[in-house]
């Protein structure tokens, strides 16, 4: 087996039991307080529209408030003590039933604009109070909203290519906004990488999508009905607009005027997130996960070393083009516990012009077809990654894949060992040498599932507290692997999920695989995103979509999904929010 971390006990708290309550539960001696809820003003100077509670805000007001469906989360310290900082919060998507009075009836151009304004990223300033709690600093010159309308640069080998040019942008170098921002990470040079995940949901493909659009999951009608009032999302009229999404977006959180940059060298995909390691000679290596059934794991090896900033310059400013040059790989896992990183180079068979890959840009835009041709391993929905730099280990949550082994679908294999995989697993691999190696060894750390389940494939092999559907991962500085879950509301509390409770966050000792439940969320939520302050005494965690889906709020078959968290006002709207988690004795989280 692969090496673990330093000796000594890692998990120092009393576990909490599974919960079906509409509350957040944390261990004795801990407190969790929500801030930065959907609809609070972010703190933009001159624009502080208050939360109304009836969803009556305009699109313009929503663009100055926290968006919906908090996901990836970063803390950027602003002083040496970490008592001031920025929270960088992704807003993955919207529940249009909650976002507007009357939901989607009628569906209007203003509601589309408001939905677009509730997407993207919020950057808000926070400060620690005397009692250890945190407050939003409003207004703040660093506060920022990035939405589905914010101008973003396209950079790297595919920028300006014919596949990225549209009627809105004949240059192929600028795109309005970023969509479905799922996981995030911080880079060693001080920027934040934000992923664009389920992009097909936004586009109408029409009755006859082409082979490329079908491979990428475009449906005749997108789940989000933006195309009805915004022709940019009608893929029949503007097919290349779809190519301008699904990238990793780099944001400089300390420069509100710097446009976000979509880094095409990292490839396009249904990206859950991107996480950076550094080679011994100082080059960035970016690991990328792609959350789709039977999609892939990726690695980008940068060509250039991370630059040291000049006096008076910030590292982010010295590395503005760092991620624009390098080599992209996709993972193949072999049954013998070994694996290979397969390079995607245009012109090298099978990625020839005749096969549809005449140049680097076509490989990066059609990365899924390129990986198919190379024989990459189709995975059980790769979600978050966590990198242990000292041991050159990478952890990956594979959330579930009920279609594994179904007729006409890929069967079980080493890293995806269960048919009808409803429960998910956590995988890890270790590179052969440095992070830019082309070979690795892999093993399964744990398989999730309730040991009481009747079906063998749903039981798992957990030591400690049971859970399902690992999603968010966070490796803390002591070596604890934090695992966050995302079982779907439609499955919770019944069948194979009957005993597992609401979605939750657990701590895992990766040396032993022992798992201990740390937090349970309110009804219908997912727990996602984690950021620890440098003193390790505050943990920020996101609660996404309590009460999901809104249409289930009145469904007597799903009473456990009904939520009015966090305010618990009668008939009030449930709201995604960020939890501030502290120990009442002020000690380190998890110890
Ligand atoms: Fe955005 Fe795969 O979760
Ligand atoms: Ca996720
Ligand atoms: Ca998920
Ligand atoms: Ca979710």
pLDDT tens across 424-433, in order?
Answer: 999 999 999 9
Give residue 384's pLDDT.
Answer: 99
Look over the chain and give the mean of its residue pLDDT values, rounded to a whole number: 96
Please determine, for residue 5, whether its predicted confidence score (pLDDT) is greater than 70.
Answer: no
- Rounded mean pLDDT of 132-147? 97
Please determine, for residue 553, whether its predicted confidence score (pLDDT) is greater than 50.
Answer: no
CB-based contact 547:561 (threshold 8 Å): yes
Number of the ligand closest to the Cα of 384: 2
Q: Is residue 85 part of a domain?
A: yes
Residues bordering ligand 4, an ion, CB closer than 5 Å: 526, 544
Distance CA 264, CA 196 (A): 12
Residue 143 structure tokens: 């506060």
Residue 104 region by backbone torsions, left for phi larger than 0, else alpha for psi between -120 and 50, else beta = alpha
Q: Ligand 1 centre and the CA of 218: distance in Å?
A: 17
CB-based contact 278:389 (threshold 8 Å): yes
Q: Is residue 316 part of a domain?
A: no
Q: What are the respective helix, strand and coil percentages of the chain, to the nearest 5?
A: 15, 30, 55
Q: Is residue 94 part of a domain?
A: yes
ipTM of model over 0.95: yes
CATH code (residue 146): 2.120.10.30
Please give the residue range of the domain that contains residue 337: 30-197+246-306+321-583
Number of the ligand closest to the Cα of 291: 1
Ligand 1 atom with least separation from CA of 180: 1
pLDDT band at 182 (very low <50, low <70, confident <90, very high): very high
Please determine, for residue 473, whether its predicted confidence score (pLDDT) is greater than 50.
Answer: yes
Q: Ligand 2 centre and the CA of 181: distance in Å?
A: 10
Ligand 1 atom with least separation from CA of 198: 1
Q: Is residue 214 part of a domain?
A: no
Residue range 223-242, pLDDT digits in tens: 999 999 999 999 999 999 99
Phi (first) and psi of residue 401, to 5 degrees = -165, 90
Ligand 1 atom with least separation from CA of 92: 1
Q: Is residue 25 part of a domain?
A: no
Residue range 479-495, pLDDT digits in tens: 999 999 999 988 999 99
pLDDT band at 204 (very low <50, low <70, confident <90, very high): very high
Q: Ligand 3 centre and the CA of 89: distance in Å?
A: 17
How many domains would you assign to the chain? Answer: 1
Q: Ligand 2 centre and the CA of 141: distance in Å?
A: 30
Q: What is the dihedral of CA 45, 49, 50, 55, to 10 degrees?
A: -150
Q: Is residue 177 part of a domain?
A: yes
Q: Ligand 1 centre and the CA of 187: distance in Å?
A: 20
Number of the ligand closest to the Cα of 486: 3
Residue range 561-590, pLDDT digits in tens: 689 999 999 888 999 999 999 999 999 999
Ligand 1 atom with least separation from CA of 399: 2
Q: Is residue 465 part of a domain?
A: yes
Q: Is residue 147 part of a domain?
A: yes
pTM of the model: 0.97
Q: Closest Cα to atom 1, ligand 1: which residue?
A: 182
Ligand 1 atom with least separation from CA of 197: 1
In this structure, the residues whose C-beta lies within 6 A of any atom of ligand 1 are 71, 92, 182, 197, 272, 291, 383
């Amino acid at each position: 087996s692969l090496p673990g971390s330093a000796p000594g006990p890692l998990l120092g708290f009393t576990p909490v039991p599974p919960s079906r309550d509409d509350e957040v539960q944390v261990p004795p001696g801990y407190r969790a307080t929500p801030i930065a809820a959907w609809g609070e003003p972010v703190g933009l100077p001159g624009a502080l529209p208050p939360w109304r509670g009836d969803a009556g805000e305009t699109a313009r007001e929503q663009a100055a408030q926290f968006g919906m469906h908090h996901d990836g989360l970063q803390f950027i310290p602003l002083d040496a003590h970490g008592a001031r900082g920025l929270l960088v919060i992704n807003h993955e998507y919207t529940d249009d039933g909650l976002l507007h009075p009357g939901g989607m009836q009628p569906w209007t151009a203003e509601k589309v604009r408001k939905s677009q304004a509730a997407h993207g990223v919020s950057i808000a300033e926070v400060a620690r109070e005397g009692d250890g709690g945190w407050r939003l600093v409003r207004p703040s010159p660093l506060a920022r909203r990035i939405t589905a309308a914010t101008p973003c640069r396209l950079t790297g080998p595919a920028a300006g290519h014919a596949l990225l040019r549209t009627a809105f942008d004949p240059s192929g170098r600028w795109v309005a906004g970023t969509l479905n921002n799922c996981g995030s990470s911080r880079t060693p040079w001080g920027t934040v990488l934000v992923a664009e995940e389920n992009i097909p949901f936004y586009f109408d493909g029409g009755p006859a999508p082409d082979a490329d659009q079908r491979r990428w999951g475009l449906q005749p009608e997108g789940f989000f009905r933006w195309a009805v009032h915004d022709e940019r999302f009608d893929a029949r009229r503007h097919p290349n607009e779809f190519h301008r999404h699904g990238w990793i977006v780099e944001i400089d959180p300390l420069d509100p005027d710097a446009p976000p940059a979509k880094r095409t060298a990292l490839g396009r995909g249904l990206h859950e997130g991107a996480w950076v390691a550094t080679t011994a000679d100082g080059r960035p290596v970016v690991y990328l996960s792609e959350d789709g059934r039977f999609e892939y794991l990726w690695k980008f090896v940068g060509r250039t070393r991370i630059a040291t900033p000049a006096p008076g310059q910030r590292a982010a400013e010295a590395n503005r083009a760092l991620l624009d040059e390098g080599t992209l790989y996709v993972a193949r896992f072999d049954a013998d516990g070994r694996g290979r990183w397969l390079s995607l180079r245009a012109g090298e068979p099978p990625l020839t012009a005749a096969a549809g890959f005449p140049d680097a840009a076509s490989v990066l835009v059609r990365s899924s077809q390129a990986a198919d041709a190379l024989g990459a391993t189709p995975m059980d929905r790769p979600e978050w990654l966590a990198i242990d730099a000292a041991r050159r280990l990478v952890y990956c949550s594979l959330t579930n894949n009920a279609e594994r082994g179904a007729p006409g679908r890929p069967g079980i294999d080493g890293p995806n060992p269960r048919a009808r995989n409803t429960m998910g697993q956590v995988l890890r691999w270790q590179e052969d040498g440095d992070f830019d190696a082309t070979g690795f060894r892999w093993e399964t750390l744990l398989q999730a599932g309730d040991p009481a389940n009747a079906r063998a494939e749903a039981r798992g092999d957990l030591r400690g507290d049971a859970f399902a559907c690992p999603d968010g991962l966070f490796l803390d500085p002591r070596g604890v692997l934090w695992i966050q879950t995302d079982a779907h509301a439609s499955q919770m509390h019944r069948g194979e999920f009957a005993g597992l409770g609401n979605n939750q966050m657990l701590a895992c000792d990766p040396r032993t695989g022992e798992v201990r439940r740390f937090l349970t969320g309110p009804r219908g939520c997912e727990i996602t995103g984690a950021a620890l302050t440098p003193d390790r005494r505050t943990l920020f965690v996101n609660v996404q979509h309590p009460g999901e889906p809104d249409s289930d709020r009145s469904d007597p078959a799903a009473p456990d999904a009904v939520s009015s968290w966090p305010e618990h006002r009668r008939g009030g709207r449930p709201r995604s929010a960020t939890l501030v988690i502290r120990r009442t004795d002020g000690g380190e989280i998890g110890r």
